[in-house]
């Protein structure tokens, strides 16, 4: 298949490009605002890989021209849209860009899918559930989102995108996949993006204090990136039936508190760091765990790598990066 991955130079995107290249041709389009060339440098020599630096919120005709200039005559079977700043620190720094990417950008990506007569996959987020009142969260839960809070630029852009995608599905019968990704971690996360795993590992490896926000009793369920990528791939290869066009949670069921995570990282990296408590950011969700019944049923998918195994691999990757 020919696959267009928008946001393919980001943390999850680059792993997805790598995985899909084993069997398919991949064009990666990314503006490198939070992604990087470093993430995809090992793919550039692959003749089935093509990189275009472009912003998905640019003029649609200009994007189409870039794609047709890129010697991509055969069109695409799938358009996968992962584009967006995704860490709370990144979307706080780029609030307007985040909203535009999740609105005008999603519109452009959908129009590309329509023009190529391709299927369309969108990586949505557990953030559509906001600070959830139920745990675990299933796809039928409408969420508890503050529409004007610090995280709203991300949450509402993703919610708008989901609504727009469903409109395209209903109006144009576009083949759609919405995977709601829960927290994902692994190699090639940016050490300075503020997310909990790279932050704690970087602090632990330097034996500096581990900054736990709030009481640290808030929970997250961390999925290792190879599992997340398999979940995304399963969404485009699984049997095409009506139900699969609607949102599907992809994440780990292994829920742990942030303090537990800090202790695990200290132990697994043999660090002498201590824990330092800091203020909790606004609207920080208290719990987060996916109900993955739909992923099991429709995608035949569930995570394989447990948190400890994933953390060991991720710590090793950060350690080797530090020593370079
Ligand atoms: N967190 C923390 N210390 C940090 C970074 C994050 O305690 O240095 C907490 C944060 O408050 C949240 C959780 O870790 O409760 C996960 O944060 P992250 O930014 O990774 O993503 P989120 O799940 O909130 O989108």
Q: Which atom of ligand 1 is nearest to the CA of 89?
A: 19
Q: How far is the CA of 286 from the centre of ligand 1 (A)?
A: 11
Question: Is the CB of residue 35 less than 8 Å from the CB of residue 9?
Answer: yes
Give the per-residue pLDDT at 217.
Answer: 98
Angle between helices 196-205 and 307-322 in degrees, nearest 10: 60
Give the per-residue pLDDT at 108.
Answer: 98
Helices (H), 74-224: 88-93, 95-100, 106-116, 152-172, 196-205
Per-residue pLDDT of the chain (324 residues; tens, 9 = 90+): 999 999 999 999 999 999 999 999 999 999 999 999 999 999 999 999 999 999 999 999 999 999 987 656 678 999 999 999 999 999 999 999 999 999 999 999 999 999 999 999 999 999 999 999 999 999 999 999 999 999 999 999 999 999 999 999 999 999 999 999 999 999 999 988 899 999 999 999 999 999 999 999 999 999 999 999 999 999 999 999 999 999 999 999 999 999 999 999 999 999 999 999 999 999 999 999 999 999 999 999 999 999 999 999 999 999 998 876
Q: How far is the CA of 295 from the centre of ligand 1 (A)?
A: 25
Q: How far is the CA of 269 from the centre of ligand 1 (A)?
A: 19
State the Cα–Cα distance between residues 238 and 244, nearest whole angstrom.
Answer: 9
Full DSSP string of 241-279: -GGGGS-EEE----EEEHHHHHHHHHHHTT----EEEEP
Q: How far is the CA of 287 from the centre of ligand 1 (A)?
A: 11
SS3 for 117? coil
Give the per-residue pLDDT at 323.
Answer: 73
| Closest by Cα among 318, 308, 95 to 192 | 318
Residues annotated catalytic, as ranges:
154
Query: Which residue has a Cα nearest atom 4 of ligand 1?
Result: 196
Radius of gyration of the chain (CA): 19
Could you tell which of 213, 264, 279, 283 is best to mutate to test the pocket of ligand 1, judged by most ligand atoms within 8 Å of the CB? Answer: 213
Domain spanning 2-188+223-252+288-304: CATH 3.40.50.720: yes
Query: Which residue has a Cα nearest atom 23 of ligand 1?
Result: 183
Query: Which residue has a Cα nearest atom 18 of ligand 1?
Result: 195
Give the per-residue pLDDT at 74.
Answer: 74
Q: Which atom of ligand 1 is nearest to the CA of 183?
A: 23
Pocket (CB within 6 angstroms of ligand 1): 87-88, 183, 194-196, 199, 211-213, 218, 220, 258, 281, 284
Task: Name the pTM for this structure.
Answer: 0.97
Supply the DSSP symbol for 84: S
Give the per-residue pLDDT at 73.
Answer: 61
Give the per-residue pLDDT at 82.
Answer: 98
């Amino acid at each position: 298949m020919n696959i267009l991955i928008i946001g393919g130079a980001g943390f999850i995107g680059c792993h997805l490009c790598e995985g899909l290249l084993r069997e398919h041709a991949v064009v990666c389009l990314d503006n490198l605002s939070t992604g990087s060339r470093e993430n995809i440098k090992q793919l550039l020599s692959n003749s089935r890989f093509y990189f275009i630096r472009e912003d998905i919120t640019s003029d649609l005709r200009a994007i189409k021209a870039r794609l047709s200039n890129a010697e991509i005559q055969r069109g695409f079977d799938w358009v996968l849209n992962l584009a967006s700043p995704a860490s709370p620190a990144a979307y706080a720094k780029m609030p307007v860009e985040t909203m535009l990417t999740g609105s005008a950008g999603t519109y452009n990506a959908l129009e590309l899918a329509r023009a190529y007569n391709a299927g369309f996959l969108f990586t949505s987020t557990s953030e559509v559930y906001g600070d959830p009142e139920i745990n675990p969260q299933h796809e039928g839960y409408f969420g508890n989102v503050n529409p004007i809070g610090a995280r709203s630029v991300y949450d509402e852009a993703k919610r708008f995108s989901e609504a727009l995608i469903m409109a395209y599905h209903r109006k144009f019968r576009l083949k759609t996949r919405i995977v709601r990704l829960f927290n994902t971690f692994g190699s090639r996360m940016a050490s300075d993006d503020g997310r909990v795993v790279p932050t704690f590992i970087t602090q632990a490896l330097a034996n500096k204090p581990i900054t736990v926000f709030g009481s640290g009793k808030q929970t997250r369920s961390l999925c290792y990136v190879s599992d997340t990528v398999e979940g995304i791939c399963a969404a485009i290869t699984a049997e095409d039936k009506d139900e699969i066009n609607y949102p599907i949670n992809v994440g780990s069921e292994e829920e742990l508190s942030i303090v537990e995570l800090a202790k695990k990282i200290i132990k697994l990296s043999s660090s002498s760091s201590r824990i330092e408590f800091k203020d909790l950011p606004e609207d920080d969700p208290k719990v987060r765990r996916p109900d993955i019944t739909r992923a099991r049923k429709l995608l035949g998918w569930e995570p394989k790598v447990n948190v400890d195994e994933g953390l060991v691999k991720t710590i090793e990757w950060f350690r080797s990066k530090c020593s370079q």
